[in-house]
Amino acid sequence: MMGPRVTVPVGLLVLLALAAGGTAQATKGFTVRAQSYGWDDPGFRDVPYNSRDLTYIVVGGQKSNIDEGLKRGHQVFILNEQTGQVVDKAAFDTWVHGDAEAATKMATFLGGAAEGRIIAVVVHDSGDFTGGLSSVLAPYGSTITHLGRRESYAMITQKGPKPSWFVEKKSAQRAGPTIVEAFVPPDLETRRVCEGGILTISCPAGKTINIVSAMYGRTQGPEVCPHPTIGNTNCISKTSLSYMRSKCQGKSRCSVAADNGRFGDPCMPFTYKYLEVEYTCGAGKPDRRGLEDHEVDSNKERLAEEARELLELLREKQDENALRRREFGEDDVDLDSELSEEYAEDMAKATE
């Protein structure tokens, strides 16, 4: 005979995920180091003009240079904000006697970068062109309006609102090289739950979930979700990402059961799996404060629907656990049935 059904308050969603084996972690972030050399800086003329040891950036120990063409002037590197990988780079001859269209070309290049990308700018040799150059970098946080002859300069920023870690610096002629460094903090979060558990993810008030990647299956050994049956470590459900987005994209909170019924079994036979999701929290619908009446009603309906979905998941899990107890003596999730009254109170608050 099956045990009593379990009901759980909305306010305990995160605790439920942890009870089901869920773990959360943020990416570590990364450090960007940028180095700029002016023509008269000590050591500049001791090596070839296009030496990789003069003007460059370093991310995670990996150096990146402009590889081809004339390197003089402003060099711009566009980085993936999650990984630090260089996704684009270009040099613009901003020397006073260089390319008259350099500022326009650089503005176009920067304008084409996706919102949120990390931008690193370094000057090689000289970047003292005066034709509107300051207005090109000002939208990205720069407050340095002019570079003198053969001054070195470096900046690290992000496209969008000026980040708290923004840095820029210039050095007078012969006083370089200029070196700046910034730590780009993580905003990508990773959450994992072992097979049979319930994964819950949420964002702060006013933010909504953006699913970046999802994987149901197994790509790592027994150090992740240990279990006696791990026969395959290279199997991923093809529906992982689409299913997670259908359940969570654009919401402030969601819960998904990690089981074969929802994702299929990509690891047959005999492999214990897990669900791992990477997501960010972006600008979304505001919370209840300051909303119009019809928006508040919509929020209440959404909260109630999320609560009902979670309740149904928990009921399914309890039914499965009851069956496993009878057949195998196993139990995946052990939840306190005395939470039903608290859950009813939360539901009432969400819909009153």
Q: Residue 101 and residue 93: Cα distance in Å, rounded?
A: 9
Domain ranges of the chain: 10-27+188-351, 30-184
214-258 residue pLDDT tens: 999 998 888 889 999 998 989 999 999 999 999 999 899 999 999
pLDDT in tens, 109-137: 999 998 889 999 999 999 987 666 778 99
Rounded to 5, what percent of the chain is helix, strand, coil? Answer: 25, 30, 45
Q: What is the mean pLDDT of the chain?
A: 78
Q: In Å, how far are 13, 45, 151, 152 from 54, measured between CA atoms?
A: 53, 10, 14, 11
- What tens digit of pLDDT does each residue of 294-317 get? 433 445 565 566 566 666 666 666
Residue 260: alpha-carbon gap to chain centroid: 27
Grade residue 332 by pLDDT with cuts at 50, 70 and 90. Answer: very low
Average pLDDT over residues 199-212: 87
Q: Supply the pLDDT for residue 166.
A: 92
Query: pTM for this structure?
Result: 0.53
Tens digit of each residue's pLDDT (9 = 90 or more) over 50-98: 788 899 999 988 999 998 777 899 999 999 987 899 999 999 999 989 9
Asked if 184 contacts 59 with a C-beta cutoff of 8 angstroms, the reply is no
CATH superfamily of 10-27+188-351: Rhamnose-binding lectin domain (RBL) (2.60.120.740)
pLDDT band at 16 (very low <50, low <70, confident <90, very high): very low
Query: Per-residue pLDDT for 6 more than 80?
Result: no
E-state strands within the chain: 23-26, 30-38, 56-59, 62-64, 73-79, 86-92, 118-125, 152-158, 167-171, 178-184, 189-194, 198-202, 207-218, 235-236, 253-257, 274-283
Q: For 10-14, 258-262, 326-330, which range has the lowest pLDDT when averaged over its residues?
A: 10-14
